[in-house]
Structure 1
């Protein structure tokens, strides 16, 4: 006589068994899952063409802040030449600043500069929608087209040579409540 075929548990039953067998430690979310969830939410918001607030540092990027006058525009043109197209830069017409997206960890290695400030964690930045490419609100001066960021060495050299104004130091110190 043939034995009856075993009944396969449902997906819900299998999950309940796994949870019951798991230790208390395995029921805790992994420490980096909150970061992953935040990155996924950010990417979905950007894809949906919404402005998106992100934390600096981590695995994404830091930011170098400069004035957005003619000298800064000339620096972007130099970076176009250096990079074969400048990495991502956001212009904020209200503050008259450019935000240059640079590799993560740059803030920790950035020496004081008379015409630029580099910020990383724990600060945040709002990325404009990917389709915003003109004022009045912050917009992509140089669009983020790939995983390319602005290299700090050539950027620092360009900023030292061109000296963009207005410098952001005093306004950032007042806004952030820290000495730069």
Structure 2
């Protein structure tokens, strides 16, 4: 005795079903908009324009410290540790250093007496790549495509060197963030 037979779909039917499941051909993947924004941003910076970028995501977070003599000593120490410090932006008007650190660092950063780490949803304006002197924010240590500043050695260096002034109160007042 045999049961009812079920017809197997043809290869044409299977391909048609796969195409239907794939969705419209012109709908970009959800992460492609972020990639396009990132490429436009990096092209603008490379073209010599200051560009505002969102922290976090796939680019970087930022550690903020004072930019005084102690901070310059911290950069020199990070030069030794890293074989050339990763990217650091100085804002001479504000008196801050912005250390570009790996994305996701802000989520893991614990309170530090001399530094604050910010990620999404905050933004930063990157100076054009050819701006290496004031006026305005400039690359104290230019951005190299192959590195960011590692947070572990940076935390230890900042704890040892203790750059002043600390950014906590200024950031809390300006951004309304608990630092």
Instruction: Return the TM-score normalized by structure 2.
Output: 0.85
Question: What's 1:8 paired with?
Answer: none
1:1-180 alignment, distance < 5 Å: 25-26=23-24, 27-180=26-179
Shift of 1:135: 0.9
Cα deviations by residue, 1:113-171 (Å, 9 ceiling, x for unpaired)? 01100001111101000000111100000001222000111110010011101111111
SS at match of 2:62: strand
Shift of 1:36: 1.2
Once superposed, what is the RMSD of the aligned Cα atoms? 1.5
5+ residue gaps, structure 1 = 1-20
Q: How many residues align?
A: 160
5+ residue gaps, structure 2 = 1-18
Provide the C-alpha distance between the structure 2 equivalents of 1:163 and 1:47, rounded to a whole number of angstroms: 33
Shift of 1:29: 2.9
Instruction: Return the TM-score normalized by structure 1.
Output: 0.85
Provide the C-alpha distance between the structure 2 equivalents of 1:23 and 1:111, rounded to a whole number of angstroms: 45
Cα deviations by residue, 1:55-114 (Å, 9 ceiling, x for unpaired)? 111111100000001110000000000011000000000110000000111001111001
Shift of 1:31: 1.1
Provide the C-alpha distance between the structure 2 equivalents of 1:77 and 1:70, rounded to a whole number of angstroms: 11
CA change 1:154–1:24 in 2 (3 A) is closer
CA change 1:24–1:154 in 2 (3 A) is closer
